[in-house]
Amino acid sequence: MFPAASLLTTLLLALSIAASPVEVRNSPITLPIARKLNVPNGTINLLQRDKARVAAIKGRSFDTLNRRAASDSVPMTVDDTVWAYVAQVGVGSPATTYNLIIDTESSNIWVGAVKPYVQTSTSINTGQEVGVGYGSGAFAGTIYKDTVTLGKGLTITNQSIGVASNTSAFGFGDADGILGLGPISLTMGTLNNSPVGGVPTVTDNLHSQGTISQDVVGISFKPITSLTGTSGELTFGGTDATKYTGSIAYTPLTTTPPALYYWGINQSIAYGTTTILSTTSGIIDSRTALIYIATDAFDKYQSATGATLDAATGLLSVTSDQYSALKNLDFTYDNNTFSLTPNGQIWPRSLNTYLGGSSSAIYLVIHDLGSTSGSGIDFLTGYTFLERFYSVYDATNGRVGFATTKYTNATTN
Catalytic residue numbers? 103, 285
The full DSSP string for 223-283 is ---SSS--EEEEEESSB-GGG-EEEEEEEEPP-STTGGGSSEEEEEEEETTEEEEEEEEEE
Beta-sheet strand order (sheet of 316-318):
308-309, 316-318, 362-363
Residues 6+ apart with CB under 8 A from 263: 104, 105, 182, 183, 253, 283, 284, 285, 393, 400
Partners of 404 in beta bridges: 245, 389
Rounded Cα gap, residues 400 and 254, in angstroms? 10
Rounded CA Rg of the chain? 22
**Three-state SS for 397?**
coil
Residues 6+ apart with CB under 8 A from 109: 89, 100, 148, 159, 160, 161, 162, 177, 178, 179, 180, 201, 202
Q: What is the 3-state secondary structure (H, E, C) of 167-203?
A: CCCCCCCCCCEEEECCCHHHHCCCECCCCCCCCCCHH
